[in-house]
Amino acid sequence: MIFVQLFYEFFKTGLLAVGGGLATLPFLKEIALRRAWFSVSQLTDMIAVSESTPGPIGINMSTYAGFHAAGIPGAVVSTLSLVLPSYFIILIVSRFLEKFRDSALVGSIFYGIRPATAGLIAGAMYEVFVLSLFDPQAFAATGSVLDLIRMVPIIVYLAALAAVFKLPRVHPIVFIICGAVLGIALGL
């Protein structure tokens, strides 16, 4: 029964993949090799699609994989199975947190974790940042700093940065839509 198999595989992935959407990738690769549902190259295509569609990458991947395995019902079953373990884990964790939130020890732990979280987010964005604004490949080929800099994207970035700081009341979604329009208009 394919739905039971889908449930089993994606529940397992949701339970074991720690550290965000892309952490599901090695698990999905393993499923691709073991089952005839989708191929590794389809999975690679899916990374590109995930980066060009909204939504958490892990969810996009499981929906895509489930759809190829068993159509729309497959997509729904695999995505819900992926989400199910973390649903229960978060309910347990938040009960625990609520209980100990005022404890001084938990306060000390978060004193260390909060700046680290800021660093992690900066670190995760670093690659996107470099690839969007700079051209390390052209730089490696010619060695000229001028080739390293992508002029138009950097100007767009600085303008967007100024807008985001100067117009704090504007909803981030508005900026994102402007970004899409600018991207098409300027051929970024």
Q: Which of residues 12-71 bind other proteins (CB under 8 A)?
A: 14-22, 24, 45, 48-49, 51-60, 63-64, 67-68
CB of 141 vs other proteins, minimal distance in Å = 21
CB of 38 vs other proteins, minimal distance in Å = 10
What does the alpha-carbon distance between residue 28 and residue 15 come to, in Å, rounded to a whole number?
A: 13
Instruction: Name which of 56, 58, 68, 51 is nearest 17 in CA terms.
Output: 58
Touching other proteins, residues 134-173 (CB under 8 A)? 153, 156-157, 160-161, 163-165, 171-173
CB of 142 vs other proteins, minimal distance in Å = 22
What does the alpha-carbon distance between residue 29 and residue 24 come to, in Å, rounded to a whole number?
A: 9
Written as one letter, the residue type at 187 is G
Q: Which stretch binds other proteins (CB under 8 A): 1-9, 29-37, 124-132, 136-144?
A: 124-132
What does the alpha-carbon distance between residue 93 and residue 182 come to, in Å, rounded to a whole number?
A: 42
Report how many residues bind other proteins under the rule CB under 8 A.
93
Give the torsion through C-alpha atoms of 130, 133, 139, 143, to 10 deg.
-110
CB of 99 vs other proteins, minimal distance in Å = 13
